Amino acid sequence: MRTALLNIRYIALKEIRIYFSTPMAYIVAAAFLAITGFFFVASVSDAFSEANVRGFAAGAIFFMIFLSPALTMRLLSEEQKLGTLELLLTSPLREIEVVLGKFIAAFAMLTIMLAGTLYYVVVLFVYGVPDLGPILTGYLGLLLYGAATLAVGLLASAVTPNQLVALVVGAGILTAFTVIDFVSQRVTGIAAQVVDGFQLGSSFSTSDPRSFGLAEGGHFADFARGIVSAGDIAYYISVTVVFLFLTVMALEIRRWR
């Protein structure tokens, strides 16, 4: 157990170090802050706008569909391309230690990125009287949502040595999970509820452009409103665990091929 934790830590530290020494994480963080900045400004610059982070959060979860896989695409693809996966898997390491270490590194980067957005909260407190509750639940939701998207991205990275393919596959899966309500609208009864139950974040209506950027629908909506429900938390944790498990499986299958 002790060695397992140490191994996870060593893998995570190595990845964080590479994040800071290569441009990708900086590019992703800059894009994330720029895009969410636009959403934040747009959501609070009307004369009667509410002092909250819902606008920013809606933009954040939408663009995490692309930015999370951009953070994770290198993690396992590059190991395969460089052949270093062969060294990892012939060292006394378990696959799950490799996967968890990498996931933790990506999650740490996401947390740092989100910490950058606390600036918006400061702005709210300086120029308005915001309600702290929804802001806190919003950030909790973003961390949980982020963890789920990173796990999906990590699986995509495990199945191909090509980073670009990993990015497209990861973003593709996340988009499908986000716009799954397009499907649920066309079925009825239990089926519609089940399909809806899988919705990752807020979708948008193809017929109403103004619906884009609103944190409605999906498991994120309540977090944005200041409501913490066990179902939503369980959903995001389940997605994270399932996709991390699938990532471990993908690495194990690789041995048997």
Partner 1 sequence: MIKLEHMTKMYGDFPAVIDVSVDIQKGEIVGFLGPNGAGKTTTMRVLTGFTPPTEGTASIAGYDVVDHSLEARRHIGYLPETVPLYLDMTVTDYLVFMGRIRGMNDERIKKRLPEVIDRVKLGDYQFTHIQKLSKGYRQRVGIAQAILHEPEVLVLDEPTIGIDPIQVVETRSLISELAGDHTLILSSHILPEVSAICKRVLVIHDGRIVADDEPRNLSDKLQHTERVQLAVRGPESREVVAALRALPIVIDVRNDNSAEARRVSMDGALTFIVDAKPGARAVETVAKTVVSKGWGLVNLHPLPMTLEEIFLQLTTKEDLGN
The site for partner 1 (CB under 8 A) is made up of 3, 6-7, 10-11, 14, 17-18, 21-22, 82-94, 255-257
Q: How far is the CB of 88 from partner 1 (least distance, A)?
A: 7
Asked if 154 and 102 touch (Cβ cutoff 8 Å), the reply is yes
Q: 97 or 232, CB closer to partner 1?
A: 97
Task: Report residue 233 CA to chain centroid gap.
Answer: 14
Q: Tokens representing 132?
A: 């702290």
Q: Tokens representing 23?
A: 């441009």
Asked if 216 and 202 touch (Cβ cutoff 8 Å), the reply is yes
Query: Which one, of 106, 147, 104, lies nearest residue 240 by Cα?
Result: 147
Q: Is 116 exposed, middle or buried, given 0-12, 13-18 or 19+ CB atoms closer than 10 A? A: middle
Q: 103 or 120, CB closer to partner 1?
A: 103
Q: How far is the CB of 152 from partner 1 (least distance, A)?
A: 25
Q: Is 143 exposed, middle or buried, given 0-12, 13-18 or 19+ CB atoms closer than 10 A? A: middle
For residue 148, what are the contacts with CB-CB under 8 A and spacing of at least 6?
Answer: 200, 236, 239, 240, 243
Q: 94 or 225, CB closer to partner 1?
A: 94
Kindly report the backbone phi and psi dihedral angles of residue 204, in degrees, each rounded to the nearest multiple of 5, phi listed first. Answer: -145, 160
Q: 109 or 121, CB closer to partner 1?
A: 109
Give the helix, strand, coil percentages of the chain, each rounded to 5: 80, 0, 20
Q: Tokens representing 249?
A: 């499986």
Hey, is 210 helix, strand or coil?
helix
Kindly report the backbone phi and psi dihedral angles of residue 136, in degrees, each rounded to the nearest multiple of 5, phi listed first. Answer: -65, -45
Q: How far is the CB of 95 from partner 1 (least distance, A)?
A: 11
Q: 88 or 237, CB closer to partner 1?
A: 88
Q: How far is the CB of 257 from partner 1 (least distance, A)?
A: 7
Q: How far is the CB of 85 from partner 1 (least distance, A)?
A: 8
Q: 93 or 135, CB closer to partner 1?
A: 93
Q: 95 or 232, CB closer to partner 1?
A: 95
Q: How far is the CB of 167 from partner 1 (least distance, A)?
A: 18
Q: How far is the CB of 24 from partner 1 (least distance, A)?
A: 10
